Structure 1
Amino acid sequence: MHPLKMFRKLVSATLAAALVACASDPVMDAAAPGDEVSAAPPRPAEPAPPPERAFPEDSLYPLLVAEFALRRRDFDLALATYLEQAEQLRDPGVSAHTTHLAQFLKREPQALAAVRLWVELEPDNPEANNTLATLLVRESRPVEAVPHLAVVARHGMKAHFPMLLGGFRDLPPAQQHALSKAVEDLTLEFQDDTRLWLTLALIRDELGQAGAVQAALDRVFEIDPWQQQALMLEAKLQLENEDPDPFQRIEAALQQDAEDAQLRLQYARMLTRFDMEAARQQFEILSAQAPRDGDLLLSLALLNQDTGDTITAKAYLRQLLALGQRSDEAHYYLGRIAEDEGRPKEAIAAYLEVGDPEGREFFSARGRVGRMLLESGDIDGSARYFSRQREDYPQMREQLYTLESELLSRAGLLDDSLAVLNQALEELPRSTSLRYSRSMLGEQRDDLALMERDLRTILEQEPDNATALNALGYTLSNRTDRHEEAFELISRALELSPDEPAILDSMGWVLYRKGRAEEAVEYLQRAYVKLPDPEVAAHLGEVLWSLGKTGEARDVWQGGLRQDPDHEVLLETLHRLEVPVADLNP
């Protein structure tokens, strides 16, 4: 056998064995592109043997090194060697193996380099083109991916054109329109490809081209009258256009196939935003078709709770408990109903049944119990309750300490909150989150020495902790005259997280405090675009006001008041600047 062909067989067997041996390894997810968006099409039949050619003597040893590295699971060495030899040998088989190994290791830059060479050597190979298209989309280069998906389609395989929309909103406008044009051009070749036309419709929808969206959808319906994504997209458009019967085509599809549970579920979920009663009817149909489906029963319980029918809601929740499904959620919402109906003991009993510390309801349930005890004046009872919870769930004690201290702070019991955090840090002295919580409580209690001491301790442990840098810098700029020191801290935080709106706000505020209002506006405006928060509105408005841009300042403040008319920082700003809240007409 030709040496290169013999080597291919050896390497193929070795890589396959390595992948099988690592079947339980988390990196297996990357052995192929993996999900529906990136799954490679089925491999074609084994191609005819390539023509034999002279085998470079200086490649034999490195390839054997790579082969034995795979056997030893030394994947870094194997990949590095394959990448080097793929370029030297320019052999499709070696390039394919290199691509697969790079994907297996989740090394996408190396996978992209390897698959580019593979496509260069086998430009008509559908697997290679599909893999390259997938990696290009992940690199936010969907326009380059289009011709490679076209190769897949030309082989009669299902090219997943909708993956081109991944990250579409983050593309520059020029690239968005270029992608739209590339996909539109491809429809001339693949006139009956439903996924391609649907992709064009989705792109046009993102670009706000309503009429053009409908034209693409009409072509989808000509090919497949009941295509689900197209049905939902058309309904969305018709709702936006205030069409009197936006769900006509969906209802026709359900009349055609009343058992289409997936379409009915999408329809029901869409209805929850517009017509709760109609949504409930659809969920009831789904539940009748699948009476033991816990997800449907929970949806029906929540719909009935939202519409005020708590009797029916409780019946569905108890049905969930009888089935042993979604038990924590059932107990939690039974607790919410009991709490809303003024039965605190029953509510607490239900909340205490929520036992999965990994579940979404775990901390919410415990927080509600703690809050109810504090509201009843039973501070000692709340302390005993949280102490028991930490004994029962020792792996969650850090989070439970934090929750208890937050509840005490919200109740205005700042000394009790501090005592809890002091106890927590005696037990968990290296906990950054607990120390940060105590630093914020120190600032709230006007104990800036405690605040600064805790934040600097965090920074000793984690010098690049942008949150701690920003918190210390902002507090120094806002509560002291140490503005130069604050500027240095915030600058470091901004280097670490250049797009974080809270840090942009801090930078704007410290620049204003340093007398650089014109520079401050730019940072504050960027922060407000990313985070239109009332506190950011207070800062931006004050800086604009100081520059004589009173109209713009009023507009910003109005926006903040619309979000929260009682926001403490915003109201303090308006009071200090003697701007009557009534004049802003929020």
Structure 2
Amino acid sequence: MKYLHRALLSAVVCVVFPGCSQIAGLQKAQEVTDPVTQRPIPVLQAYDDTELAPAPDAQSPYPQQFSRSTLLDLLTAEIAGQRGQVDMLLQNYLKVARETRDIGVIRRALNAAQYIKDDAAMTEMTLLWTEVEPDNVDAHQLAAFQLIKQKQYPEALSHMEQVLELEGPTTFDRLAVHAKNLTDEEKKELLNLYKKILERHPENGELMYGYAVLQEINGMEEAALASTDPLLKTSPDNPAVIALRARLLKSVKGVDVSLAYLKKQYAKHPDEVQVGALYARTQIEAHNFDAAQSIYKELMNRFPNTPHLKLSYALVSLENQHIQEARKHLEELVKQGQHLNEAHFYLARIADQEDRVEDAIQHYQNVTRGGHYFNALARSAYLLIRSGRQSEAEAAFTEARENLPSQASQLWELQINLMLELDDLDAALKFSNQAVEEYPEDLQLLYARAMLKDRMGLLQGMEDDLRHIIALDPDNAVALNALGYTLADRTERTQEAYNLINKALELDPGNPAILDSMGWVLFRLGKSGEAVGFLQEAYSKFPDPEVASHLGEVLWSLGRQDDAKNIWREALNTKPDHQLLNETLKRLNVDL
């Protein structure tokens, strides 16, 4: 047993750390790729037991050899890994990496940290790697990436600049492009950092491009446009630079100037798909759909094995009402197994418009994911119900929830809204009850059911759901306002209603719906003079017929009949059949 223990120790160390020169008789089997450096690492599969022996207790002067306690830590880590205890594996490797600063251990710790997505450990080990191997490009690249993820931009750019000085590949351009998701303050900070680095490396194309992108993201379009001038001198044929220039020309000088520039670039670079596709998309933005279709057709013929061009051509053909042309290319995409969800969705739309219901249903049901999935599911269910196949529609929603459990609550909402669209309130309430039973603390589902109960005249049920929401989320301004308005409008509990609406207004003071509610409850409390200001502000922000109805009635009560009539006439012009507005005019016996 003791001999076996020695063998296991040595085998672990050599498999983990290639190049264990103190062990003889090792044979290289094959090569695998290190996930950190993407470089080949030999895998060792055979060894001579007679050569196996533990390292001495004292720390060896050679980095490949470890003390007995260190080897035991490594062995414990590997056994933990075999048992699926990756956290323990990582912790042991972190400990040894800190103690020994051995590059093999550091990389092993990085692999484990990557596997369990431990960003803190990843960052620590990448920074340690840069200390141990300060001239390693991969180390600085990974350190920069980790620091960017943690929004430590000055530190990240320091490592990126180190990569630059080591003449390795940098990612200044990609970092700048992804900066659009940052806060305004972070965008400004990054812009200033790029400016400083660009001053030290003025000829670096990635930096120049990244700086121009950051100027654009910071709303400095004119300055960004000027920054593309030197870029075009050094990289005149770079599609990304051309695209940036075209985008900035559109922002600063208008779409026609951008189109003129893209026309020249497209003629100059007919084999650059990115330039041609951008030219076509810009034509679409300018509502030049015929021109866009022509460009996409040229691109599609030039690059017949590029499916996204075929899809774009089909969609712009559809926009131009060239239905047969669109159908032909969408069907080709289906046969090729390319862009299946988009192709099936638009083939469904075509069949739907042509009243080929069964074909439409089939195509909609072949949309299994992507941005069109919810619309396809809802429309196929609608057509099934209209065809008398209610059970099939319900089964489709059930299957969708089983396939997408993380989106089950949204799928319940979709099904409920479909029933409302079909004016089947009983079915909508049935599905609402099932949804809330499954997700009793889902605020969206509770609110949807509350509004449905309100529509069905189930006042107490509505109040129960809204109070449940408020119990779960006491600062939910939407629920506070909805309950307050309902109490003000349909009960005599006006003071209670005022308290609810007042709290909602404190939480969301500029919300026009809450301003309308406050004006209405003040009117119901007999405070028309105070009410009118809230209602006028609400109407200026949201000129909705319901708000107009309230504002007009308050003005009418104050003797300002002409003002009230003007408000009502304006609202009726936008929505002459609005139920509440017409009921108000009838109740007040107003003839406009």
* TM-score, structure 1 as length reference: 0.70
- Name the stretch that deviates more: 241-250 or 279-288: 241-250
User: Which one of the candidate residues 10, 17, 32 is aligned to 1:12?
Assistant: 17
Native 8 Å contact 1:198 1:230 kept in 2: yes
2:271 maps to what in 1? Answer: 259
Alignment-derived partner of residue 229 in structure 1: 240
Q: Describe the SS at the equivalent of 2:508.
A: helix
Greater Rg by CA: 2
Shift in Å, 1:302: 1.9
SS at match of 1:241: helix
Cα 1:474–1:93 shift into 2, 3 Å: farther
Distance 1:550 1:181, change over 3 A: farther
8 A contact 1:520–1:543 mirrored in 2 = no
Q: Which amino acid counterpart does residue 479 of structure 1 have in structure 2?
A: T
Partner-residue secondary structure (3-state), 1:353: helix
Distance 1:174 1:326 in 2: 39
- Report the Cα offset of residue 41 of structure 1: 7.9
CA distance in 2, matches of 1:318, 1:112: 49
Q: Does 1:195 align with 2:195?
A: no
Give matches, 1:163-178, under 5 Å. Answer: 163-165=174-176, 168-169=179-180, 171=182, 173-178=184-189
Q: What residue identity is the alignment partner of 2:318?
A: Q
RMSD: 4.7
Q: Contact 2:453/2:461 (CA < 8 Å) preserved in 1?
A: yes
Structure 2, unmatched stretches of 5+, are 1-8, 20-31, 42-59, 489-495, 556-563, 575-592
Q: Secondary structure at the match of 2:438?
A: coil
Q: 1:571 and 1:145 mapped to 2: Cα distance?
A: 55
Determine the structure 1 residue equivalent to 2:173.
162
Corresponding residue for residue 539 of structure 2: 557
What secondary structure, in the 3-state scheme, does the structure 2 residue paired with 1:524 have? Answer: coil
CA contact (8 A) 2:300 2:309 kept: yes
Tell me the equivalent position of 2:499. 513
Which deviates further from its counterpart, 112-121 or 310-319? 310-319
Letter in structure 1 aligned against 2:366: D
> Aligned residue for 1:67?
78
Aligned residue number for residue 57 of structure 2:
none
Going from structure 1 to structure 2, the CA distance change for 1:523 and 1:226 (only over 3 Å counts) comes to same
1:298 to 289, 311, 316: 311
The match for 1:271 among 260, 283, 295 is 283
Does the Cα contact within 8 Å between 1:220 and 1:227 map onto a contact in 2? no
Deviates more, 1:284-293 or 1:396-405: 396-405
Which residue pairs with 2:52 in the alignment? none
Matched, 1:117 2:136: no
Q: Deviations over 1:408-451 (max 9, x none)?
A: 322333234335656x67xx963657974545422432324445
Give the direction of change, closer, same or farther, for the CA distance of 1:210–1:458 in structure 2 (3 Å limit). closer
The residue correspondences of 1:24-39 to structure 2 (distance < 5 A) are 31-32=35-36
Q: What per-residue deviation string (whole Å, max 9, x for no partner) do you get for residues 131-187 of structure 1?
A: 111111111222221110011122222101124336635655554333222212222
1:339, distance to aligned residue in structure 2 (A)? 4.4
Q: How many pairs align?
A: 503
Instruction: Using the TM superposition, give the Cα deviation of residue 203 of structure 1 relative to its aligned residue in structure 2, in angstroms.
Output: 0.6
Deviations for 1:456-498, whole angstroms, at most 9, x for unmatched residues?
9999xxx97x6998876565444349xxxxxxxxxxxxxxxxx
Partners in 1 of 2:474 and 2:502 — Cα distance? Answer: 24
Mapped partners of 1:549, 1:239: distance in 2? 46
Query: What is the CA-CA distance between 1:199 and the residue it aligns to?
Result: 0.4
Looking at both structures, which has the greater relative contact order when contacts are Cα pairs under 8 Å and sequence separation is at least 6?
1
In structure 1, the residue matched to 2:158 is 147
The equivalent position to 1:524 in structure 2, one of 509, 524, 534, is 509
Q: Report the CA distance between 1:78 and its aligned residue.
A: 1.2
Cα distance between partner residues in 1 of 2:289 and 2:515: 35
Secondary structure of 1:199's counterpart equals helix
SS of the equivalent of 2:98 reads helix
Q: 1:217 to 1:420 in 2, by over 3 A?
A: closer
Question: In structure 2, the residue corresponding to 1:358 is in which secondary structure?
Answer: coil
- Matching of residues 547-586 of structure 1 within 5 Å: 554=536, 557-561=539-543, 565=544, 570-571=547-548, 574=551, 577-578=554-555, 580=567
The offset of 1:333, in angstroms, is: 2.7
Amino acid across the alignment from 2:508: Y
Could you tell me whether the CA contact under 8 Å between 2:173 and 2:206 is conserved in 1? yes
* Alignment-derived partner of residue 438 in structure 2: 430
In the TM superposition, what is the alpha-carbon distance from 1:354 to its structure 2 partner?
3.0
> In 2, Cα distance between the equivalents of 1:209 and 1:113?
36
Q: How does 1:391-430 map to 2 (within 5 A)?
A: 395=402, 403-419=414-430, 430=438
Deviations 1:189-226 (A, max 9, x none): 43332211110110111122234313331222222111
* 1:184 has 2:189 as partner: no
Within a 5 Å distance, the mapping from 1:278-297 to structure 2 comes to 278-291=291-304, 293-297=306-310
| 91-100 or 450-459, larger mean C-alpha shift | 450-459
Q: How does 1:38-57 map to 2 (within 5 A)?
A: 52=62
Distance in 2 separating the partners of 1:10 and 1:317:
52
Q: Following the alignment from structure 2 to structure 1, what is the Cα–Cα distance between the partners of residues 419 and 196?
A: 62
Most deviating of 53-62 and 249-258: 53-62
Offset at residue 77 of structure 1 (A)? 0.3
Equivalent-residue separation in structure 2 for 1:85 and 1:479 (angstroms): 65
Give the whole-Å Cα distance in 1 for the aligned partners of 2:349 and 2:193: 52
1:239 equivalent in structure 2: 250
- Encode CA deviations 1:206-255: one digit per residue, 9 max, x unaligned: 12223431333122222211111211111111112235532444444433
Counterpart CA distance in 1 for 2:538 and 2:115 is 51
Q: CA 1:93 to 1:167, structure 2 compared with 1: closer, same or farther past 3 Å?
A: same
Residue 98 (str. 1) matches residue 109 (str. 2): yes
Q: Is the 8 A contact 1:301 1:313 kept in 2?
A: yes
Deviation at 1:76, TM superposition (A): 0.5
Letter of the 1:161 counterpart: F
Q: CA deviation at 1:310?
A: 3.1
AA in 1 matched with 2:329: Y
Aligned AA (2:420): S
CA distance in 2, matches of 1:468, 1:235: 46
Q: 1:572 to 1:320 in 2, by over 3 A?
A: farther
Distance 1:328 1:182 in 2: 43
Letter in 2 for 1:259: D
1:537–1:560: 8 Å Cα contact kept in structure 2? no
The answer to whether the aligner puts 1:312 opposite 2:325 as a matched pair is: yes
445 and 91 in structure 1: CA distance in 2 versus 1, 3 angstrom threshold: same
Confirm whether residue 383 of structure 1 aligns to residue 368 of structure 2: no
Change (3 A) 1:555 1:339: farther
User: Residue 118 and residue 225 in structure 1: after superposition, are their counterparts in 2 closer, same or farther (change >3 A)?
Assistant: same
Q: Secondary structure at the match of 1:77?
A: helix
Deviation at 1:281, TM superposition (A): 1.8
> 1:38-92, CA deviations, whole angstroms, 9 ceiling, x for partnerless residues?
xx68799xxxxx9637955643432332233234432100111222333333444
1:289 shift after superposition: 2.1
Residue of structure 2 equivalent to 1:495: none
Percent identity for Structure 1 against Structure 2:
22
Task: Describe the shift of the 1:442–1:91 C-alpha distance in structure 2 as closer, same or farther (beyond 3 A).
Answer: same
Partners of 1:55 and 1:335 lie apart in 2 by 67
Q: Which whole-Å CA distance do the structure 2 matches of 1:384 and 1:468 have between them?
A: 40
Aligned partner of 2:290: which letter? E
Q: Structure 1 residues 382, 431: CA separation in 2 closer, same or farther (over 3 Å shift)?
A: farther
